[in-house]
Structures are given as C-alpha cells and as structure tokens.
Amino acid sequence: MAKWVYSFGNGRAEGRADMRNLLGGKGANLAEMSSLGLPVPPGFTVTTEVCTYYYANKESYPAELQGEVDKALAEIEKTVGAGFGDANNPLLVSVRSGARASMPGMMDTVLNLGLNDKTVLGLAKSSGDDRFAWDSYRRFIQMYSNVVLDVGHHYFEDVLERKKEDLGVHMDTDLKADDWKSVVAEYKKTVEKRTGKPFPQEPREQLWGAIGAVFGSWMNQRAITYRRLHSIPESWGTAVNVQAMVFGNMGDDCATGVAFTRDPSTGTNLFYGEYLVNAQGEDVVAGIRTPQHLTIEGKTAQKSDAPAMEEVMPEVFKQLCQVRETLEKHYSDMQDIEFTVQRGKLYMLQTRNGKRTAKAALKIAVDMVREGLIDRKEAVARIVPASLDQLLHPTLDPKAPRKVISKGLPASPGAASGKVVFSADEAEKQARSGEKVILVRRETSPEDIHGMHAAEGILTSTGGMTSHAAVVARGMGKPCVAGAGDVRIDAAAGTLSVRGTTVKAGEQITLDGGTGEIMLGVVPTVQPELSGDFAELMVWADEVRTLGIRTNADTPTDAAQARKFGAEGIGLCRTEHMFFEGDRIVAVRQMILADDEKSRRAALAKIQPMQRKDFVELFEIMAGLPVTIRLLDPPLHEFLPKTRTDMEQVARDVGVDVREIEQRTNKLHETNPMLGHRGVRLGISYPEIYEMQARAIFEAVAEVQKKGGKGVIPEIMIPLIATKKELDLMKAVIDSVAEEVSHASGEKLEYLVGTMIELPRAALRAGDIAETAEFFSFGTNDLTQTTYGLSRDDSASFLEKYQQRGIFEHDPFASLDTEGVGELIEIARERGRKVRNSLKLGICGEHGGDPASVFFCHKAGLDYVSCSPYRVPIARLAAAQAALGGPLKTE
C-alpha cells in the first residue's frame, strides 16, 4: 500500500536525503537533518505522489491521506506538548512547498496556521506576550487569505497603513497589542467582504485549505515560467511540508535568518548570511526590512553599523557555526540554511545545496578538492556547464570613466548597461524589440521573474544579499545590485532619484553587481580571461573528456578568442562571411552579375587574394590544429541589395545600369531559398567558384608552410550534398587545384575532403558517400530543419505553444532532437564507418555548445563538436561530464 506521509523530528525521521524525488528537496533534507540530531522542529511531509494524484484525479486526494495526516499531526502534538486547535495551549504549524528542484519563492507558504479567535488567546497566555500573539494572528490572516482565499495583499496593506496614519506612527513595531487586535478585526471584515464568507476558524479546515493551495501553486504562472526557464518537468510535482512553528518574533532574544556556509557570490570559505532580531523568516527573504550581518567580518566588509549576530547572540552563533561545519561535511557541498532562534534556542528550518554564481561554484569545487572533501572528478561533475556563460562575458573596463551615483549591495556579480524600466512587463516588452534594459524595482517578487529574465541586470532599493532579487539573479547569472537604500524609486512617475540626480524611464544606467555601484550612462567593458580556478577545473575536465572541442570561426578575432578558451581547431569556417567585408562585396556582386564564365573568373580573381590572406591568418592562429572550411553555401541572391536605394548604389559601384541589378535580383529570386540553388548546387552550376576557394586555401597552406609554420592539413567541406555523385564532381575539382598549387609552389599539400550531412537522404546514404568523403560534419541546424520540415526563421511563433502542449520538450533548434535527428546521425555514423573505418565525425551546428547535445554526441561516438567561441569552455566541461556518465544533480 502506498505511503503518502513521512514524519520527522525529535532526532529521527522516516525519510532520507536521497528520497528527494518523493519528499522534495526540503522534506528530504529536513528528514536528514533530524537524523543527524540537529534541532529541527517536528513535522511531516506529504509526498510529491499526492501532487501527481491530485492533478490526475480532478484535484482530489487519496482516501488514506486524511488518516495519515491526522496520525502525523498527533506525533507533532506529542513531541511539542501542545494541541492543534487547543484553546489554552495551541500548536501552530507552517505549511510550505518543496519540489525536488529548488524553486525559491515560486510557490506558496502559510505561517502561524492554527490561529483563530480562541487560540490567539491561548498563544498570548502561553507566550506571556499579547502583542506577539495578535501580531502573529494578523500575519496569518493576511498570508492565508492571500494564498488560499485569493484576497490581494494590498487590501490588508491599506488597512494597516490607515491604522498607522490614525495612530501617527510609521513602523509596524510601534503598534501595541490592542492596535493589532483592531487590525485583526478589520482584516476579518475585509476577508468577508471580498469572499462573501467569514475567515475560517476551524484549524483542520485551515490546514487542508493550505495543503490544497500549495499543490495548486505548482501550476501558478510564476512556477510554470520558472520551470520553463530551468527545464524542470511539470510531472515532478511538489511535496508539502507541515512543521511545528517556532517563533523568531517573540522578543529581543528571538531572531530569524538565512545563511550560506560559504560566500555564494565569490565562493570564499567564510560564513555568510543575514538575520533579523524579533522577526519571522518571511521578513528576511521578502526584502521588507534590511537585515543585519551574521558575522563581525561581514558587517565590517559592508561598512554596516547594525550589530552582528556574533556580537548580539554569541552562544547561539557558536551553535550555528557547529551546524555549518556538520552540514558541509555531511553533504560535501556549500549549504543554504534557514534558522530561527526562539527565546535563545536555535532551530534549523531548512538546508539545501546553495544557489551560487559560476565564479563561486568553481572556487568552491576547487577548494573542496584541496580540502579533501571531494575528488577532481566530482568537482568536474558538479559545475553546471551552461553557468560558465556568466564568466565568459565582458566586465566593466577599469580604465573607463564612470559617474557613480549610488552604491547598494553587490548581490550578483557581472556588469550590465541598459535603459531603465520600472516593471517586469515593460522589461519583457522592450527586450523583445531588441532593447537592453535594466529592471528597477523597490523590491522584486516572484511575479517579476519574466522581466528579470528579459533584463540585462536588476536594481532594487530594499532587500539584502538573500532577498528574492539576489537569489534569482544569481541563479540566472544576471548582475544585481540590491538594497540601494538612498535610491528613491517612483514607478508611477517613471523616475529613479538619488541625491539630486534623477534618471527617467528610457535613460541608460550601468550596474556593477560585483561592487554594488550604480552609474549613469553606458560604461565600456573588457573581455574576460580564463585563469585561476576556471583554468584549473578546465584542466581536470580535459583529463577525462574524450570528445574533441572545436570552434565555429570565420574571422581571425573569433579564432584567436576560441583558442584562448581552449578550442582544438576550427570545426566550421563559413567562407561566405568573408565575402561581406569592405571591397570584397563589390567583387562578389560583379561575379554574380557576370553573364559568362570568363567574366565570372575575372571577378573571382579579385576575391582570391583576399580569401587567401584570411586563410593564412586562420592557419597561423590555429598553428597546426585542424581547420574545416566550408565552401560557399548560401544562395547568390543573399549578396545582392534588397531596396531600390541600395540597388542604385551597387549599380554605381559595379558600373552597370540599375535595371541590370533589378533583372538579376528577380532572376535569382527563389520561393524557398533554404532548399534552393545553394551549397553544392552552386558548385555544380559554377565550378569556378569552388575552384577559386580551393586555390585560395591551398596557396595559403603553401605560404604558411614556406614561412616555417606548423604543417597545415585543411579539411575542405562541401555543403548540402544529397548524392555521392555531387561530392565526386567537387572532389575532382579540389584535387585538380591541389595538384596545380603543389606543383607551382613546390610544397607537399595534405588535405581532407568531406561533406556536411544536413539532408536526411545524405544521412541514409552515408555508406555510399563515405566511399569518397574522408569526414562528415553534421550541420544540425539544417538537418533539424529538413528532418522536421520546420523553418528555423519562421517557427518561433508557434514553437512555444508546442512546448507548452508537451509536443516538444525543448526547442529542437536549441537542444538537439536526439530521437529523430539523433537517429539519423547514428545511422550515418554506422553506415559511414562500415565503409570507411577512419571516417572523422563531428557536428558544427549551434547544438555543439548545448550541454545536452554534447552528451548525445559523446554517446553517439562522434570525434568532436564545434561551437561558437564563447561556448567552447561550456562544451569542454559538458564533454567531460559526458565521459563521467553525466552531471551531478546538486539539488
């Protein structure tokens, strides 16, 4: 029989850390902490299987669930010595979500559950503090009404603001017990007015309402968006954790806080966190009050005047340090912990592997290897490859002038410039139209996630280093400056002002998330360098990977950058990109406009020395590493002008009548150019084009070898072939040119001729083609288009709907379709290598930098992947993880 509820607390637990799929991350770790003997308030977890059942059975529960919940609740009552609904000595509980993957702030929480008009009096009596009891009750009504009854927060905030105005006070802490009593009465009236029913008084009704709301929140819009951004399957569901309340807001010997066992921004081995005296946990993470630092060191570093926990509660701080050590040793990873201090006693409410920046992840992994906590392979497996993107992009140029107008907390590193926007919707709208924006908010909430994803960076005027904005920005790799207290934000007026400077919506600012600085205008940036921990981890990755990593590079700049990032050659040089520069385009257009072969050859003769110079530079940068050069691929009309004005300019440049340009453009027009006169079809029609390119390549090889450079073995690639005959004809042209250049230069020329496999027919006939081809490079961009019959340029409008409906798990142009396209790749590998055992295989579409696609390429037995320069380190790490059997699931 299925077990739906697992209890924990009092030094024992029915669950374990490795049961996260069933208990969710929070429930599994609460069980583990209980078994470790840490002070965890007792509670129980309703499993993720109940969530699955709930949605599969018209939002109803298994028949046995109520009995299991009642039994687990009785155990909590026994441990705590209080009764759920007992008017004299009430047990209060929290109800929280807990999916198997951490989704901070995305789902709903209810605290102080069990309070009603009677139990509030019992709480006042047992705590000896009327004010605390009525404050807890008003918090519960507001939270429960918002989460369960769908009554907006603002209705309650309006009541509270009016009360403070009537009393002539500014702070919540200025309200006394009787004031909170009258606020509670107004809150209950608000609920009845908005829902048509009184606020529920029966604790068990409250409990089931909260459990249902948590399961319901799995399908709220912000959770759906978060899952989409982080590739979390909807089928996982969430667990629900019900736990005895402990109170951080019973007086000055109480506190609540969030801590990381190491610095989540830098990875430094320092205890890092924040706390608030006389507060509940929501106050810390919601960014409503600016918290204080845990340690004296942290307080000093941020130049804060507020006393550190180390000073205010030295004994409790000492216990917390021991917990830090215990948890980090047990989990062998940096932990994100939540705690409450009730009347001088420490309670642990949560631990999980902490979200961290890529820089911190690298440092923590490398340091933990040095400390003997983990080995090198585990360090390699632990880093999320895509997160390296955060380290591969520019930072602010230290020499550039900057006008700093304010400084906040350095909540998430990196630098970004953009136009100021004051709402998440506006950020998303402007980003869609190509604008770079900075999202400016007083504080962010989970509803802002779509705008945070769209923005280049985030600025908030309140909140700390563990606020929603900070945690989410770090997870996304976005720069964030939080808690900039002297920045005044007026979203309605569309202004940000600080000490006499006003910035309006649409004006540019720059953020430095590493220092917390806010600057006027756009500040220039500098390129990153691979060094230190990054370089060390990459060496470890290279020791275990078997898949080669090349780059897609068409210019010397790209090639040099890729070499810095560890590329082992060029897997795709698109020669047509070289045609668009400067004077070349004029010669290219002359070639296209030519009426006969003689005129075409005359134009091509002008282009040849330019191409040769490009190849010389690429060969010298790659210093003997393989360079795969794709001969001309796009249809010729792409090189011709589109507008009348441009046509007139080209006519002047080339020295022909504008009507000739118009006629040629019309003649070259194709209804479906992606499947038209391009690739090898151009070479068959105009062999002199491929002949010129081959000559430029071989003359460049001869020149580099004569200079004493390393021997170059170019790999010449014919695009878009469907038949062996096409390749045979083009190889004959290339071989003939090679012989001529070798004879003329006196240099021995070694080279390979191969093809791009980007048509399903080519994949299926790979055995025939391999009789001629010495390598295959899978052009997965076009192979995906031709396999699905999808246009990459036109499908964006409906692909999202396909993902939402579960037809596609991912965009097939972003992550390789391993079933359909993948099967064609495997067929081509098998048939090709059967004919030519030494056949070299790689992929050169953008999939080469996608970690999931890299895992597939390793498994499929390819020799290399090729990707854009900035994705090379990501591919290196993904290839290493593939060799190790896949990445570690750290959450």
User: Strand 525-526 and strand 480-482: pairing?
Assistant: unpaired
User: Strand 480-482 and strand 488-490: pairing?
Assistant: unpaired
Lateral strand order in the sheet of 335-342: 292-293, 272-277, 255-260, 335-342, 345-353
Give the span between the Cα atoms of 445 and 440, in whole angstroms. 12
For tokens 């429930």, the residue is: 27
Give the span between the Cα atoms of 171 and 165, in whole angstroms. 10
844 is catalytic: yes
Which one, of 816, 812, 838, lies nearest residue 825 by Cα?
816
Contacts of residue 138, Cβ cutoff 8 Å, sequence gap at least 6: 180, 183, 184, 187
Give the span between the Cα atoms of 858 and 850, in whole angstroms. 12
Give the span between the Cα atoms of 400 and 185, in whole angstroms. 58
Q: Which of 468, 637, 847, 858 is catalytic?
A: 468
Give the span between the Cα atoms of 330 and 31, in whole angstroms. 14
Give the span between the Cα atoms of 510 and 522, in whole angstroms. 6
468 is catalytic: yes
User: Virtual CA dihedral for 752, 756, 760, 762, nearest 10 degrees?
Assistant: -30
> Which of 50-80 are b and which e, b meaning 16 or more Cβ less than 10 Å from the residue's Cβ?
bbebbbeeeeebeeebeebbeebbebbbebb
Enumerate the β-bridge partners of residue 520: 403, 509
φ, ψ dihedrals at 274, nearest 5°: -140, 155
Q: Which of 254, 480, 573, 844 is catalytic?
A: 844
- Assigned token pair, 117: 């008009």
Contacts of residue 259, Cβ cutoff 8 Å, sequence gap at least 6: 271, 272, 273, 274, 275, 294, 320, 324, 336, 337, 339
Which one, of 146, 157, 158, 160, lies nearest residue 194 by Cα?
146
Give the span between the Cα atoms of 558 and 82, in whole angstroms. 68
- Assigned token pair, 665: 């453009």
Query: How many other CB atoms are there within 10 angstroms of residue 129's CB atom?
Result: 18
What Cα–Cα distance (Å) separates residue 854 from each residue in 505, 684, 832? 42, 34, 21
φ, ψ dihedrals at 43, nearest 5°: -175, -165
- Assigned token pair, 847: 């999939």
Q: How far is CA 862 from the centre of its chain?
A: 27
Enumerate the β-bridge partners of residue 552: 572
- Assigned token pair, 792: 């990459």
Task: Give the 3-state secondary structure of residue 731.
Answer: helix
Q: E strands within 487-626?
A: 488-490, 495-498, 501-504, 508-512, 517-520, 525-526, 548-552, 570-574
Q: Which helix (H) or strand (E) holds 628?
A: strand 627-630
φ, ψ dihedrals at 732, nearest 5°: -65, -40
- 191-195 long-range contacts, Cβ below 8 Å, gap at least 24? 191/141, 191/145, 191/149, 191/151, 194/145, 194/149, 194/151, 194/155, 195/145, 195/149, 195/151
Task: Give the 3-state secondary structure of residue 250.
Answer: coil
Task: Give the 3-state secondary structure of residue 527.
Answer: coil
The sign of the CA dihedral 282, 288, 289, 292 is: positive
Q: Which residues are catalytic?
A: 468, 844
